[in-house]
Amino acid sequence: MTELRICLPGQRLCLSDKVYTSGQGTYERQGYIYSQLTGCLDIVEKDNVKVVEVHSSGEQTVVPGQGDIITAQVYIITQQYAKCNIKCVGDTVLRRPFRAVLRREDVRATEKDRVEIYKSFRPGDIILARVAERSITD
Amino acid sequence: MPLDHKRINGPDETLPYSLFAKQSTPSWNQIFKELQKEGKRSDARGFLDHRKVFLKTGIVSQAKGSAYIELDNSKVIVSVFDPHEIPNRQDYSLKGEIYCEFKFAPFSCKKRRLHQKDNEENQYSAIMKQALESTVCRHEFPNFQVDIYALVLHNDGSCLSAAITAAGIALSHAGVPMYDIITSVTLGIQKDMILLDPNVLEQSLCSGPILDDTKNSDHGIVVISILNNHNQISQFYQSGMISLEKLNQTVELLQKACSDLVPLIQKCLVKHVIKTLKSSGEG
Amino acid sequence: MSLCEAEKTFVLHGVEENFRLDGREREDYRPMELETDIVLHAFGSARLRLANTDVLVAVKIEIDVPFPERSKEGKLEFFVDCSANATPDFEGRGGEDLAVEIANTLSSAYRSKHAFDLTKLCILKGKKCWKVYVDILLLECGGNLFDAVSLAVKAALWNTQVPKVHGVNIDGNNIELNVSEELYDCDRLDVKNAPVMVTVCKIGEKCIVDPSVAEEQCSVGSIVVAVSGDKFSTVLQTGTGSLHPATLMESLKLGHRVAQRLDEALWATLRQIKPGQDVGFLK
């Protein structure tokens, strides 16, 4: 649809019920869906449910989170891990690189114990990876 | 305050010339009586009128988000940068952090300010952080830190409120997820007179008691920041000496003043969105 | 120490039923112990123990030149040191943020003339004045630091003995002060209106005072209220949450009520202290 619907942070969009659920750029509070960003409203149909999303007008603030596919460049390798700088998250190129660690056990799915990091990666290599679950230690 | 060794400081024993011109400057008592007599302030405002506000986004091209606010003569620039990793932090936290810095430019006040942050600026930075922490959706950027820098170019009173309001706009411009639009207003009280959005002279007037016969009169400054759609006070600061009843009265006044600012901010943000869409549509 | 969700819910239910973890009601304080005149080198000192929170305050005075803009006033400065004895988190610069916050809140609370009269500290207008350094040492953190610090500071200032200046010899630019030779020929500071701070935390739907460490972690939002005499000397919202305006008003009322009770209790204790008592932890 070509109709422009601009929304602002904190603007109440609609009721949160079986028909509408909150998607990216929105949050739910006390039974209503509110917008988190300044931008345009989009309603996407997914599995018979309308997902309410807000897309920011400028560059989206993207942060590497769990499960994201990232593009990184290796800069240090040791026996146990390879340290990389994340350059892109999905399709978005980041302004600042974020640090990431690739452990020996996560390099490939088979023969995990016989991995040798220096045979798989060298400093300067570009890799495609998925962000793993973060173990929270108190 | 530690000495600043990196810059060449001026001679130590300098004094501002205004100290020697005391004979001609009116005393606080005289200024107060003038205001009471006139019923209006020096710029023809009523006691409860806010100054005209000018807002603009996107003035710092290198920052992710930025905003410029003018309250008549008070001018503040706020810039917001992308989330980045927190330096010196080993453990993981589920919430992101905000780092706020509030600074007066050396030429912004009547008396020259030093380049290093002094206690007042540290306190204002902490207050700004308090205000913005409840506004930003911190769970959206776990373990990362968003930097917010506010610089006052000209201090004509109510700079902290101006900075907080502009910071809200800058954060929104940067695309940082927020729960609501934040607005902030300052209020000064001297005896029975309530001055909304004081300029620098009025702010100094309300900071100290007037020395005359009436004992125990109220005086003080109140700064409040409100998330309007949810009706939540995210920051409240009062200094001076104010009684409970007066404080209750001022909170109601401030709520109304904050909600009056909201349409201005909405207009500014919408204008920005339309401009970006138009330029991306043409390009 | 971080609490799990079940522990937080337990604390919440306790607060709702007016029966907290240690059996207190919402407006009750934990037991306190106060000792004064314990640091020999200081002009005044006090130590306050509020359950697990331990604060030691020492007051030192020096002769200084007053600020040129405020030539009839002395100076009062607060320094807070979070010692690593309290928690290992305070090692190095870890406790700096907290220390700066407490020091700034104290300065803000004591700023007004009605709270603490700096003109009494002036010796010779424009040339000599007393500068009072209040050094606060946090020995142990058991929650509710602001209250403990403010009470200890008030007691230490009450205990402070300022040497009497009998005469002044002015010889061109050389000024010599004749300070009294006798040990006990001193003035005391007027702390009748010195502010007392109360931390009011909102847990669930109700507000409590004097939170312990566990309760501080469960609180959604909190405000620190400094009450001097009958009025608010400073109000600062701390913590990471936002408050509803009605909650804010309620917390202010509660803080006001409790602060006056606390002040009365403090004065009752101070009057009982006789000089030359041989009891104390540093004696």
Among chain B residues, the shortest Cα distance to A12 is held by: B229
What are the pLDDT digits (tens) for A91-100? Answer: 888 878 888 8
Residue contact B208–C112, C-beta within 8 A = yes
DSSP one-letter string for chain B: -----SS----TT---GGGGGTTTSPPHHHHHHHHHHHSS-TTS--TTPPPPEEEEE---TTSSEEEEEEETTEEEEEEEEEEEEPTT--S--SS-EEEEEEEE-TTSSSSPPPSS--HHHHHHHHHHHHHHHTTB-GGGSTTEEEEEEEEEEE-SS-HHHHHHHHHHHHHHHHT--BSS-EEEEEEEEETTEEEES--HHHHHHHHS---SS--S--EEEEEEEEETTTTEEEEEEEEEEE-HHHHHHHHHHHHHHHHHHHHHHHHHHHHHHHHHHHHHHH-
Helices C96-109 and C145-159: angle between axes, nearest 10 degrees:
50
Among chain B residues, the shortest Cα distance to C224 is held by: B237
Mean pLDDT across A63-84: 88
* CA A14/CA A28 separation, integer angstroms: 10
Work out the number of other CB atoms within 10 angstroms of the CB of residue B135: 27
Q: Which residues contact B30 (CB under 8 A, 6 or more apart)?
A: none
Using CB atoms and an 8 Å cut-off, which of residues 245-264 of chain C contact chain B?
A: 245, 248-249, 252-253, 256
CB C233 within 8 A of CB C109: yes
Query: Across the interface, which of C104, C113, C231 has its CB nearest the CB of B122?
Result: C104
Query: Across the interface, which of A39, A40, A61 has its CB nearest the CB of B83?
Result: A61
Work out the number of other CB atoms within 10 angstroms of the CB of residue B269: 25
Asked if the model's pLDDT at residue A1 lies above 50, the reply is no
Residue-level pLDDT at C283: 44
**Chain B residues touching A65 at Cβ < 8 A:** 142
Residue contact C243–B233, C-beta within 8 A = yes
Q: Where residue A137 falls among pLDDT bands split at 50, 70, 90?
A: very low
The residue type of A22 is: S
Residue contact C235–B236, C-beta within 8 A = yes
**Chain A residues touching B140 at Cβ < 8 A:** 36, 63
* Residue A7 forms contact with B (CB below 8 Å): no
Query: Across the interface, which of B82, B83, B172 has its CB nearest the CB of A9?
Result: B172
Residue contact A61–B176, C-beta within 8 A = yes
Question: Min CA distance, B181 vs chain A (Å)?
Answer: 6
Residue C165 pairs in a beta bridge with C179
Q: How many residues does chain B have?
A: 283
* Residue A56 forms contact with B (CB below 8 Å): yes
Which of A24-28, A107-111, C242-246 is the least confident region?
A: A107-111
**Chain A residues touching B141 at Cβ < 8 A:** 61, 63
CB C141 within 8 A of CB C53: yes
* CA C121/CA C64 separation, integer angstroms: 10
* CA C171/CA C192 separation, integer angstroms: 38
* Residue C240 forms contact with B (CB below 8 Å): yes
Residue C111 has, within 13 A of its CA and on its CB side, a CA count of 24
* CA C145/CA B248 separation, integer angstroms: 26
Query: Across the interface, which of B83, B84, B276 has its CB nearest the CB of A58?
Result: B276
Residue contact B231–C237, C-beta within 8 A = no
* Residue C65 forms contact with B (CB below 8 Å): no
**Chain B residues touching C114 at Cβ < 8 A:** 209, 216, 241
Burial of A50 (0-12, 13-18, 19+ CB in 10 A): middle
Average pLDDT, chain A: 84
CB B150 within 8 A of CB B115: no
Question: Min CA distance, B276 vs chain C (Å)?
Answer: 32
pLDDT along chain C (283 residues), means of 10: 86 91 89 88 91 92 88 91 80 80 92 88 88 93 90 92 85 80 81 92 90 88 91 90 90 93 90 66 48
What are the pLDDT digits (tens) for B12-60? Answer: 777 778 777 767 677 888 888 888 888 888 888 888 889 999 999 999 9
- Chains in contact with B, where contact means 3 or more Cβ–Cβ distances below 8 Å, are A, C
What interface predicted TM-score (ipTM) does this complex get? 0.88
Mean pLDDT across B173-202: 91
DSSP one-letter string for A14-82: EE-SSSEEE-TTEEEETTEEEE-SSEEEEEEEETTEEEEEEEESS-------TT-EEEEEEEEE-SSEE
Residue-level pLDDT at A2: 53
Query: Across the interface, which of B92, B144, B273 has its CB nearest the CB of A6?
Result: B273
**Chain B residues touching A134 at Cβ < 8 A:** 92
Substitution target in C231, C235, C249 with the highest count of B β-carbons within 10 Å is: C231
Asked if the model's pLDDT at residue B230 lies above 70, the reply is yes
As a whole-number percent, the residues of chain B with pLDDT over 90 amount to 47
**Chain C residues touching B256 at Cβ < 8 A:** none
Asked if the model's pLDDT at residue A61 lies above 80, the reply is no
Mean pLDDT across B164-176: 93
* Residue A10 forms contact with B (CB below 8 Å): yes
Asked if the model's pLDDT at residue B234 lies above 90, the reply is yes
**Chain C residues touching B19 at Cβ < 8 A:** 68-69
**Chain A residues touching B274 at Cβ < 8 A:** 6
Q: Which helix (H) or strand (E) holds C105?
A: helix C96-109
Query: Across the interface, which of C111, C232, C236 has its CB nearest the CB of B247?
Result: C232
**Chain C residues touching B17 at Cβ < 8 A:** none
* Domains of chain B, start order: 43-282 (3.30.230.70)
* Domains of chain C, start order: 5-272 (3.30.230.70)
* Domains of chain A, start order: 6-56 (2.40.50.100), 69-130 (2.40.50.140)
Asked if the model's pLDDT at residue B145 lies above 60, the reply is yes
Query: Across the interface, which of C114, C242, C252 has its CB nearest the CB of B241?
Result: C114
Residue-level pLDDT at C279: 53
Please state the pTM of the whole predicted model: 0.90
